[in-house]
Structure 1
Amino acid sequence: MPQVNPQILVWARETAGLSIDGAAKSLQLGGARQSGTEALGEYEKGTRAPSRPLLLKMAKVYRRPLLTFYLPQPPVKSERGEDFRTLPGGRAFESAPTLDALVRDVFVRQRLVKSILEDTDEAEPLNFVGSMTLGQPVDYVAKVICKRLSFDLNEFRRKRTVEESFSYMRGLTEQLGVFVLLIGNLGTHHTALSTDVFRGFALAEKVAPFIVVNDQDAKVAWSFTLLHELAHIWLGRTGLSGADFEQKIEQFCNDIASEILLPEAEIDDLGPLGDDRQKIMSAISDFASRRKVSRTLVAYRLLKRRKIHRNQWADLTEEFRRSWEAERAKKKEEAADAAGGPNYYVVKRHRVGNALVEVTRRAIAEGFVTPTKAGRILGVKPANVQALVAPA
C-alpha cells in the first residue's frame, strides 16, 4: 500500500472543519491504553501509518475521495470563480468547510453528467453560456434571457403559489439544458448553510451547466436566485452568490433578475410611500405578494429607483428578514407536531430536479453509469437509485 503523507491527514481534517478531538471521536479512535486524540495525533505526525479501513473511515468523515489520501502533497486551493470568495466579516467562518464540501460535491456531479452526455453524443455546447458581458445594458440582457427562456411574466404571476411560479421558471431553465438543484446542506439538518453563507451558485460550463439554489432561503426568493445564477451563466462566470450586492458582478446579476421579475417601471405603481414605516412595510408586502416576489426584492427596486434612501432599505431588509425567520420557526414547530410527512422520493426528486433524474434514468437504462455513480449524481445511496428514477 502506498505511504500516506501525514500532512494530507492534517489538511483533510482541517478543511473538513474538525478539531483533532472531534475527528478522533467521529473516527471512533482510542481505547483503554490510548485516547483517540493521542492516536490521531500519531497518525498526523507520521509516527504511525493509517490502515486502509481507517483511511476509508477518514474519507467518509472528512468528505473526501479515498484517492485524496494518497496524494504526495495537500492540493493548492483552487480558483473557483470570482464569487467563490472569502466570507466577509458578517458571515459564519465556521461554515466555510461545509460550503467547500458542498461545492466539491456539485462539481463532481456536474462532471459525471457531462461525461454521460459525451458518452451518449448529447454533449452539444450551449451557445448562450458566456455570450454576454458586464458592459451590456441590464434591460438588454434581461430581454435576451427572457426570449431564450420563453419566459412569460404574466404566466409566472398567474401561478397559484410561489412554489408553482418557481417550478414554472425551473422547467423553462432545464429545457435549455441547465440543471437546477435545490441544496442547502450536506444531507442532514446539522450541515445546513444559511443564506448568510450563500444563496445560490452557478457552474457556467458550456456542457451541462449547473445552478444550485439554497433551499434554506425563503421559497419566494428561489426564483430570483435562479435568475441571478442564470445571469452568471450568460456571463460565463462560475461563482457563488450571497448577500453582498456591492460587488460589480453581483449587482449586475441582481439587476437582471430584478428587471425580469419586477420591471423598474412597475415600481411607480406603488405611488407615494410617505414616512410611516408600518404603512410602507404593508404596501411593500401587498405589492410583492401580488407579483410572486419577495419583499426584499421590492425594497431593492425602491432603493435603485431612489424612492427610499439607503438607511430605509437596510432597516426594511432587516425587518423583513426577522419576520421571515419568525415565520419559518413557527412552521418548523407546526411540522414537528404534524404526523407523517412527504414521501422521501418525492422530496428528493424535487430537490434534484426532473432534468437530472431523466438524464440519470436514461444513463442507467443504456448502461452508461453504475448504481454507485448514479447515486453520486442524485445525492442518494445506490440502493435508492432505482426507486428515485422510476416513473412517478
Structure 2
Amino acid sequence: MPLVNPDIMVWARKTAGLTIEEAATKIQLERHKLEKIERGEDIPTPSMLRRMAEKYRRPPVTFYLEDIPRKSNYGTDFRGRAKEYTPKEEAHVSALLRYAQSSQQLIRATLELEEEAIILPFVGFLRQKWNLPKEAGSVKQRLLDMSTSQYKESVSDALGGLDLVLGDECTRDIYHAQPNKAKSFKLLRASCERSGIFVILKNDLGSYHTKMSSNLFRAFVVADEIAPLMVINSGDSEAAKSFSLLHEIVHLLLEQTGISDLELSNPIEKFCNQVAGQWLLPSESLKAVWTGDQSRLPELAGMISQLCEQWNLSHMMVATRLHQEGLILQEVYSQLMEVYKFEWERSRQHNQKKSTGKQDGGPGYFTTQRSRLGEGMLHFADRMIQSGGLTVSKAAIILGVKPWNVSKLLNPK
C-alpha cells in the first residue's frame, strides 16, 4: 500500500482552517501523534485517514498524492472584503465551492452521457452581444469605458436577458403580486429552474458550527452553458435572496463564474446590482409612486417600508434605488443605510442564536434539504437514477448527502 504524503497532510489541515490542536481534537488523536504523522515519522491507520478525510473535507485519495494540488479555480472573486476573512472562514467557503463545482461537473457529465446536453442561449448573452472574451477584466474595462447613454443601453440589454431567462410566468408584475417575499423568491427560483439553472440554497457544511453569513458570501455561480448552477446564501432574507438570484443571472449573461458578497465598488458588481435593482423597481414605477420629502428621515423610512411590503422588496434595495434616481439626498441615503445595516446585523445575530439553540417543532432534516436543493436538482437526480444515468453514490455527491439518505430525500412519505 502506498504511503501517505506528510506534506499533503499538513496542507489538508491548514486549508481546512484548523490548527494542530483543533485537528487533533476533531480526529480524536493526541497532538503529539498527529505531529509525528505530519513529520512523516508515523503512518496513520485507515480509520484515522477516514476521520481526517471527513474533518478536512477532502477525499481519502488526496493524502496519497505526490504533490500538493493546485489551488482550485472558482472563477472571479468579486467580494470586496475577501482579504478580511479568517483562514477558517475561507476554508468553509472553499469547501462549499468545491461541493458546488463537483455537483455541477457531475450534472453536466451526466447530461452529456445521456445525450441531453443543450446549449442554453442566455449564458454569455451579453458578452457575445458586446463581442468580448470571457475574462472578467475585459468586461470590467468595457463598463468603465462606457458613456452614460451606453451604460443605460447596456442595462436595458441585460434586462432583456433577464426576461429571456424568467419568461412570461415570472414578469415583474407577477413577482410584485405575490402574497409575500417568500412566494416571490419561490417564483423567481422556479422560473430559473425551468430555464435550466440549478439553484441551491446553502450557508453551511452540514452543521451550525460552519454557518457562513452573507458577509462571507452572498452567492456563487458556475456560468456553464449546459448546466449553470447557483448557490444562494440560505441565511439571507427572502428579499435579499431574490436580489442575489437576479444579480447572479446577470453574471450568467456575462458568462462569468464567481463569488459575490455585499461589494458595491467593483464595476461588474455595480452593473449586476443596477440591473437587478431596475428589474425589481424600474425608474418609471419608482418615480410614479414616490412622493416623499428628500430630507425627513422618519417619513422616508415609513414610505420605504410601505413600498417594501407592497412589492416584496428589501429596504436597502429601495433606498439604493431612490438614491440612484436622485430622489433622496446622499446624507439621507447614508443615514438610512446605517439604520438598515444595523437592523440587518441584529436580525442576523438573532437568527444565528436561534439556529445554535435546540429547536423543537421545526422542519425535519429531509424537508430542509429538499427546500435547499430545489425542485430542479431533486427532479434531475430522481430522473437520472430511474433511467440508469446516475448511480446512487454519484447522486449523493450532487445532492450533498450520504448515499443511504438519497432514497429518503427523493421519495418522501
TM-score scaled by length of structure 2? 0.87
* Contact 1:117-1:123 within 8 A present in 2 as well: yes
* Contact 2:292-2:300 within 8 A present in 1 as well: no
Distance 1:390 1:359 in 2: 13
Amino acid at match of 1:360: A
The residue that corresponds to 1:341 in the other structure is 362
Distance 1:252 1:383 in 2: 44
Distance 1:331 1:13 in 2: 30
Q: Which runs of 5+ in 1 are unaligned?
A: 30-35
The residue that corresponds to 2:99 in the other structure is 105
The residue that corresponds to 1:19 in the other structure is 19
1:210 to 214, 223, 229: 229
Amino acid at match of 1:377: I
Moved more, 332-341 or 373-382: 332-341
Distance 2:237 2:186 in 1: 15
In structure 2, the CA distance between the partners of 1:196 and 1:379, relative to structure 1 (3 Å rule), is: same
Amino acid at match of 1:166: F
The residue that corresponds to 2:182 in the other structure is 163
| 1:64 matched to 2:85 | no
The residue that corresponds to 1:181 in the other structure is 200
In structure 2, the CA distance between the partners of 1:267 and 1:247, relative to structure 1 (3 Å rule), is: same
1:309-342 residue CA offsets vs partner (Å, 9 max, x unmatched): 4454343223113223444566677896974122
Shift of 1:343: 3.5
In structure 2, the CA distance between the partners of 1:93 and 1:9, relative to structure 1 (3 Å rule), is: closer
* Contact 2:123-2:225 within 8 A present in 1 as well: yes
In structure 2, the CA distance between the partners of 1:213 and 1:89, relative to structure 1 (3 Å rule), is: same
Shift of 1:391: 6.5
The residue that corresponds to 2:108 in the other structure is 114
The residue that corresponds to 2:213 in the other structure is 194
Identical amino acids, percent of aligned pairs: 35
The residue that corresponds to 2:391 in the other structure is 370
* Contact 2:79-2:262 within 8 A present in 1 as well: no
Shift of 1:54: 1.8
Amino acid at match of 1:322: F
The residue that corresponds to 1:277 in the other structure is 297
In structure 2, the CA distance between the partners of 1:281 and 1:210, relative to structure 1 (3 Å rule), is: same
Shift of 1:91: 4.8
Distance 1:251 1:86 in 2: 12
Partner of 1:60, secondary structure, is helix
| 1:253 matched to 2:272 | yes
Partner of 1:64, secondary structure, is coil
* Contact 1:146-1:260 within 8 A present in 2 as well: no
Moved more, 368-377 or 41-50: 368-377
Shift of 1:9: 0.7
The residue that corresponds to 2:403 in the other structure is 382
1:316 to 324, 336, 340: 336
1:182-226 residue CA offsets vs partner (Å, 9 max, x unmatched): 011111111110111111110001111001110111112111100
1:111-157 residue CA offsets vs partner (Å, 9 max, x unmatched): 11112211221111212211213556112211232144213111111
Distance 2:411 2:294 in 1: 56
In structure 2, the CA distance between the partners of 1:89 and 1:267, relative to structure 1 (3 Å rule), is: farther
| 1:3 matched to 2:3 | yes
Amino acid at match of 2:269: E
1:166-197 residue CA offsets vs partner (Å, 9 max, x unmatched): 11111110111100010111111111101111
The residue that corresponds to 1:144 in the other structure is 161
* Contact 2:294-2:327 within 8 A present in 1 as well: no
Partner of 1:137, secondary structure, is helix
* Contact 2:165-2:192 within 8 A present in 1 as well: no
Distance 2:40 2:125 in 1: 51
| 1:233 matched to 2:252 | yes
Moved more, 108-117 or 14-23: 108-117
TM-score scaled by length of structure 1? 0.92
Distance 1:175 1:130 in 2: 18
* Contact 2:199-2:231 within 8 A present in 1 as well: yes
* Contact 2:221-2:259 within 8 A present in 1 as well: yes
1:247-300 residue CA offsets vs partner (Å, 9 max, x unmatched): 111111111111111112223222243322222222211112211110111111
Number of residue-to-residue matches in the alignment: 386
Q: Which runs of 5+ in 2 are unaligned?
A: 128-138, 143-152
* Contact 1:80-1:238 within 8 A present in 2 as well: yes
In structure 2, the CA distance between the partners of 1:25 and 1:84, relative to structure 1 (3 Å rule), is: farther
The residue that corresponds to 2:326 in the other structure is 306
| 1:290 matched to 2:310 | yes
Amino acid at match of 1:8: I
Give the superposed CA RMSD.
Answer: 2.2
Distance 1:391 1:124 in 2: 30
Distance 1:37 1:391 in 2: 43
* Contact 1:270-1:287 within 8 A present in 2 as well: no
The residue that corresponds to 2:34 in the other structure is 40
Distance 1:260 1:147 in 2: 13
The residue that corresponds to 1:360 in the other structure is 381
Amino acid at match of 1:111: Q
Distance 2:86 2:353 in 1: 25
Shift of 1:164: 0.8
The residue that corresponds to 1:32 in the other structure is none
